[in-house]
Amino acid sequence: MVWHSCIVQDFRKIEKIEYRALRHVYNYFTARYTILRGKGKRSLMYVQRLGQMVIEVYKVCHNIGPVYMREKETSYSCMSNV
């Protein structure tokens, strides 16, 4: 993982862009963001990114990720019963 922004303002900006996109996709310009997300069955962008990070960590811990990730030396130990 090369870049992961944890700044709250960045997440708000990204979600604002997604909100605009969802309004245009569903042609529903007066709905709240939560309603449009529910209509599209989408979780918050922050939750989606956390899920992607968990998947990547799992792959690294079990040596099933890409070759370049398996070849890197990791400075952390993985839990053996994950």
The string of pLDDT tens digits covering residues 51-62 is 888 888 888 778
Q: Cα dist. 28→8, 10, 65 in Å?
A: 27, 25, 40
Tokens 């890197």, located at residue: 72
Give the pLDDT confidence score for residue 20 in this predicted structure: 92
pTM of the full structure: 0.57
Contact present, 36 and 23 (Cβ < 8 Å): yes
CA 63, 69, 73, 74 dihedral sign is: negative
